[in-house]
A and B are shown apart, each in its own frame.
Chain A
Amino acid sequence: MIFFINAQMPEKKSGIEHAQIKRINLFKKMKQDARIILRDWNSETHRLTKLVGIEDDDFISMFDYYQEAMHVKRQIIKPADLDFGVPDLKLVSDLDHRRYLAETAEGQLVARINIDLNDDRVLSTELFDGFGNLYRVDQYDYRGFVSLSQWYTPDNQIGTEEWKTPSGRTAIEAFSRQNMRGEMKQSGWKLTTTTGQVYQFDTIEELTKHFFDDLNDEFWSVEEPNIFILDRDHLGDWALLNMEKPAYRVIHLHNSHASDAQNPMKSTLNQHYEYALNSMNRYDAFISATKKQTKDVKARLKPQIKMFTIPVGIVPDQLLNAPRIPVEDRQFGKIVAFARIAWEKHLDDLVRAVAIVHKTVPAVSLDLYGYADGSNNYEAKRLVEQVIKEEHLEDVVKFKGYTTDVDAVENNAMMFGLTSRMEGFNLAVMEGIAHGLISFSYDVNYGPNEIVENDVNGNVVPYGDYEALAGAMIKVLQDPKLAQKYSTGAYDSAERYSDANVWKAWKRLLRDAKASWPAKLAAMPENREVHK
C-alpha cells in the first residue's frame, strides 16, 4: 500500500493538500491502490474530505483507525435527541452564539449545545454538574457520535482528553499536567486496542510511530513494500526513521530545501526539512517537484539514496484537450495573478511592473485573485495598495478575492504574472499555462523558472527586476504574433504535467520500491538463512 501522510484536509488548503488531492485522483485513475493518511483529529474530517472528493476508502485518519470509525454511516444528531439525564429540561435558543441552552424548570444550566446553524446539527455539548461546574465538553463527529470528550479540571482547564469509538469504548486518551516549571503540558498518551491491550506514549509522535507500525503490519506483503510518503515532515520524520519493520520511506519536499531559495547552496537549510535532510541516507528516497531542485539538493547534500522528480501539479486530460482560445479572442492586456496576497508572493513588484507597462500600453489591467494574508496587520496587502496609490492605478489593478471559477477567468485573460520570492512548485502558474496564458515570472526557485520557459510560453526575467518584467510584457503586448506564439507554447508546455507524464515519474519510484524489497526482506532477522 502507498500512504500519503498529512495532518488534515482543512477548509483553507495549502499547496500540500492540493498536491495530495491531485495525486490520489491520479492514483485512482491509474488503479494503483493508495491512501491519504490524516494524522490529526478533527470532528469535521469526513465533511472536509468529502468536500474535495476524497472517499472514506481513500484515506485513513489515525484517530478513526483506533476509534474503529473509518466507516460509519452518518446520522444527524439534533439538540432534541440528546439525553442529559435531567427530567423536564427546556431548550432555550441562543442562536447569536450558535447554541441552545438546556435548562431545568428552575432555570439551572445543564448543558450548552453548540450547533451548526445550517442544519441544526449538534457540534458539541458543554456539560455542567448540579453545582454549576463545567466538567466535560463532548465533541461530536460529523457522522453523529461523540468522538472526543474533554474532561475539565476544577480550575477550568482541559485535564484529560478521551477519544471514543462510536459505541463509546475509550480508544485514545491524552493527559495534561504541569511540568516542573509549572507549565501545563500534554504529558502522556494512552491507546487501548480493540482487544484491550494498553500502550502508553509520551508524545503524539510516539503514537504516530505505533500507528505506522500497525499500518505496515496490516498491509504487509512479501511482494512489495508499503510505501510511506511523508508530505508534512514534522508529523512523522522521527516515526518513519524508527519503524519496527522495513518499509519504503520517502520524504516529499514541498518547498525549497534552503531558507533562501535564491541561494540554494549556501543559505541555511529550511528549518522544516533540516532534520530530514541531515538524515537523508536513512530514508529510501526523496521527492522534489522540479528537476532544478533535485539537481540542487543532490549537489548540496550529496545523498547516497534515490531522488525522484515528480511534479506536484497535474493538468487533467479534460483541460489539455479543451478547445484552445486564440489570443485575439481574449481581453487584450488582461493580466491575472493567482496567489495569496502575502509577503513571499511579492505582488507589490508585479504592480510596479504593471505601472510601467501602463505608461506604454494604457489598456493593460491586473486582477489579483486570492486571500489577503493577515500577517503584520495585512502588511502585504497594504504594500500593494501603497504602490497602486503612488502610481494612480486604482482603475487598473483590482483585488478580486478568492474564486473557484478559474476556467472562466483564465480563458478570458491574456497573461499571468508571478513575482514570488520563493516557491516549492506553484500550481497556479501551471494552471495558467494550461489555459494558454502567457506567463511572466522572476527567475525564482523552485517551479516558476521551470514551469515558465523563457521564449517558449512567456518570459523569465532576473529575480527582482520588475523593469525587465515590464519590458517583456510590453514586447508581447505590442507583437500579436509573438503573443500567439507564447500562448500556443503555453498550451503545448502544459503537456509536461499530463496524467501520463506525471504517472511515468511515479512509476519510476514504484519500481524502485519494489526492486528494493527482496534485500530488505532478506535482511530481517526472521528471514535469515539459518545454518543448521
Chain B
Amino acid sequence: MKYFVSRSIYTFNSGTEHSQANRTIMFNEHNDAARYITRDYNRLWVRDAERVNLSSNEVLNMYDYFQGTTEVAVTQNPIRAFSQIAFNEYQLVDHGPNYSTIDHAGRQLARINILPGTVGLVGDVEYYDRFDTLTSRDNFDWRGFKSSVDYFHPNGALGSRRFLNQDGDVVLENIYMNIDGQLQPTMWKLINYQGRDYRFDTEDQLFLFFLNEVMKTTQDNVIVSDHRDTDYVVADVQNVQSKWVAFHGLHADNHGMPFAAFTVALETRANDFDGIIVPTTKQKDAILRDFNQLNVKVGSDIAISEKHLAEEEVWLRDRIEGRIIFSGRLEADKRPMEALQAFLKVAKLVPKATFEFRGYTNDQQLLNDMKQVVNQNNMQERVIFGEYLTDSEMEEFYNKAQVIVNTSVGEAQGMHLIEAMGHGIPVVAYDTNYAINGLVENDVNGYVVTNGDQDQMAHRLQQILDNNVLWSKLSKAAYQKAREFSSEQIYKQWRNIFQN
C-alpha cells in the first residue's frame, strides 16, 4: 500500500493537498492502491475530499480511524426531523439559512448551526445555560452522525473534546489545560482501543501511534510525507518498505538557505528517509549542490488524466476573448499585485481585456489593497475576484480563459500552469526558480519575462491578445506540453522511484 501523509484536506487547498490528491488518484487508477492520510480533525472531510475528486475510501483520517467511522455512508440529518429535539417540549425557531434555535418559554436554550453549504441539515448544536453562556456543543459529521462533543471552560474557551464512535461511546478525549499559564491541548487519550487506554501528550504522538497501527494492516508499505509538519512523525514510522519526503515548494531562499520547515527532511532526520522527491530536475540539482549525500528523485506533482488529454481542444471562439487569469493563493509569495499592475497596463491598450483571480487568501489586507487599486483605476467591471473553486468547477474556469499569468517568487513545479496548459492556455510568467523555464518556451507555448518587469509582461500579454494566429500557435503548443505530464508517464516516473 502507498500512503501519502499530510495534515488535512481543506475547504480551500494549496498545491500540497492538490498534488497529494492528484497522486492518490493516479495510483489508484493504475490499480496500485494508495491512501491519502490526514492527521487533523475535520468533520467535513468527506465533502472536502469530493471537492478534490477523492472518493472517501481513498482517504484515511486519524480521528475517523479511531472513531471506527471510515466506512460510514452519507445520510441526511435534517433539523426538522432531528431526533435529539423533544418537539413536544421545545420549539424549533428558524433564523434564516444559517441557524435555528431551540426555544422554551421564550428563551433560546440551544442553537443549531446548519451544516455548511446545505439546506437545513444539522451541523452542530450549541447548548446554553441560564446565564446564556455556551456550555457544550455537539458536532455532526458531513455524513450525518454525531462525531464529537465539545465542553467549554467557564471563560468560554474550549475545555475538552470527546470523539464518539457510531454507538455514541467516547473513544478519544482531548483536553485543554494550562502550560505555563497558556491554555492549550495537553492530552489525547484513546479509550478502550483494542481493550486498552493510551494517553498522549501531543497530537503528533497520537499520530505516530496511528500510523504504526495502520502500517500493521497492510503489506509492502511505502509512505510519503507530503507536509513539512508531518516529516518528523513519519520519520519514526515502522513496518515500511520505504519512506519518503515529497517537496511541494521552494526549499530554500534566494541565497540557498533552507527554510526552517525543510531542515527535518534535509538535515536532522535525513537518514530516516530513503529519499526526497521533488517535482523538477532543477530543484533536485539545487538540493544536491548543498546536500550531495542525499538521495533525491524527481516526481511530478501533477499528472493530467488520459481522459482529459483525450478531450477536444477548445477553440478561441468558445473562450471569453481577452480573458487573462491568475490562479493560486492571493498571498505575498504569489505577488498578485504585480500581476494586477501588469494587467492595468494591458487594459489601457486592449479594451476587451479582462482579468480574473481564483484562489483563497489568508491575507485580507493584500486583497483589500488590490481591490482598492482596482477601484482607483475604475476597473471594477474588468477585474474579477472570484470565489475558490472546486476541481470540477476549475475546468470551466480554464476553458474560458485566453492567457494565464504567473508572478510567483518561485514555483517548484507550477501545477496550475501545467493544468492551464492542459486546457490550451498560453503562459506569461516571470523568470523564477525552479519550474518556469522548463515549462514555458518563448514564442512556443508562452513567454518568460524578466522577474519583476511588469512592462514586459504587459507587452507580451498585449501581443497574444491582439494576434489570434499567435494565440492559436501558443495554445496548440500548450496542449502539447501538457502531454508530457500524462498520467501514464507520471505514474511510471513514481513507480520507478518506489521500485528502486
Contact = CB atoms under 8 A, between A and B. Distances in A.
B169 A169 contact: yes
B133 A84 contact: no
6 contacts: A86-B199, A187-B133, A188-B130, A196-B83, A196-B84, A197-B83
Given A85-B190, A168-B170, A187-B130, A133 B178 contact: yes
Contacts of B189: 85
A215 B197 CA distance: 38
Contact of B186 (A85, A133, A177, A195): A133
Given A153-B159, A197-B86, A133 B177 contact: yes
Interface in A111-157: 129-131, 133, 135-136, 151, 153-154, 157
Contacts of B153: 153-154, 159
Closest 9 CB pairs of A and B: A188-B129, A85-B197, A85-B199, A187-B129, A130-B201, A133-B177, A129-B187, A202-B130, A175-B135
Contacts of B86: 197-199
Interface in B150-202: 151, 153-154, 159-160, 168-170, 175, 177-179, 183, 186-187, 189-190, 196-201
Given A188-B129, A199-B89, A151 B160 contact: yes
A178 B154 contact: yes
A145 B160 CA distance: 22
A199 B89 CA distance: 9
A190 interface: yes
Nearest to A164: B170
A195 B85 CA distance: 11
Contact of B175 (A135, A173, A175, A190): A135
Contact of B128 (A129, A159, A160, A188): A188
Given A178-B154, A187-B130, A197-B85, A129 B198 contact: no
Nearest to B183: A154
Nearest to B185: A129
B201 A160 contact: no
B136 interface: yes
B127 interface: yes
Interface of B: 83-86, 89, 104, 109-110, 125, 127-131, 133, 135-136, 149, 151, 153-154, 159-160, 168-170, 175, 177-179, 183, 186-187, 189-190, 196-201
A179 B131 contact: yes
Contacts of B186: 129-131, 133, 135
Interface of A: 83-86, 110, 129-131, 133, 135-136, 151, 153-154, 157, 159-160, 167-170, 173, 175-180, 184-185, 187-188, 190, 195-200, 202-203
A159 B177 contact: no
Contacts of A154: 153, 177-178, 183
B93 to A, nearest CB: 15
Contacts of A84: 197, 199
B204 to A, nearest CB: 13
A195 B83 contact: yes
Contacts of A168: 169-170
A178 B131 CA distance: 8
Given A153-B154, A159-B154, A160-B159, A190 B178 contact: no
Given A135-B177, A169-B168, A190 B136 contact: yes
A216 to B, nearest CB: 15
A200 B177 CA distance: 27
Contacts of B201: 129-131
Contacts of A129: 175, 177, 186-187, 201
Given A133-B178, A198-B127, 5 more contacts: A130-B200, A160-B151, A197-B84, A197-B85, A198-B125
A446 to B, nearest CB: 39
Nearest to B198: A85
A190 B135 CA distance: 10
A197 B83 CA distance: 6
B109 A131 contact: no
Contacts of B183: 154
A203 B127 CA distance: 15
Contacts of A200: 104, 109-110, 127
Contacts of B110: 198, 200
A315 to B, nearest CB: 47
Contact of A131 (B84, B133, B179): B179
Contacts of B104: 200
B196 A85 contact: yes
A187 B201 CA distance: 31
A39 to B, nearest CB: 20
Contacts of B149: 170
Contacts of A177: 129, 131, 133, 135, 154
Contacts of B133: 177, 187
Contact of B131 (A159, A187, A203): A187
B84 A198 contact: yes
B129 A175 contact: yes
Contacts of B151: 151, 159-160
Contacts of A131: 177-179, 186, 201
A160 B183 CA distance: 17
B227 to A, nearest CB: 25
Contacts of A135: 160, 175, 177, 186-187
A176 B154 contact: yes
A457 B125 CA distance: 68
Nearest to A154: B178
A241 B183 CA distance: 45
A197 B88 CA distance: 11
Contacts of B159: 151, 153, 159-160
Nearest to A82: B197
B332 to A, nearest CB: 36
Contacts of B160: 135, 151
Contacts of A176: 154
A197 B170 CA distance: 18
A83 B136 contact: no
Contacts of B135: 160, 173, 175, 177, 187-188, 190
A57 to B, nearest CB: 29
Contacts of A173: 135-136
Contacts of B196: 83, 85
B127 A190 contact: yes
Q: Which residue, A84, A129, A151, A169, has most C-beta atoms of chain B within 10 A?
A: A129
A85 to B, nearest CB: 3
Contacts of B109: 200
Q: Which residue, A151, A167, A170, A197, has most C-beta atoms of chain B within 10 A?
A: A197
Nearest to A133: B177
Contacts of A195: 83
B448 to A, nearest CB: 53
A220 to B, nearest CB: 16
A136 B177 CA distance: 11
Contact of B85 (A157, A175, A190, A198): A198
A210 to B, nearest CB: 9
Contacts of A185: 131
A153 B151 CA distance: 11
A508 B189 CA distance: 59
A202 B109 CA distance: 10
A178 B152 CA distance: 13
B369 to A, nearest CB: 40
Contacts of A178: 131, 154
A413 to B, nearest CB: 56
A187 B131 CA distance: 7
Contacts of B190: 85
A212 to B, nearest CB: 15
A199 B90 CA distance: 9
A85 B173 CA distance: 12
A125 to B, nearest CB: 12
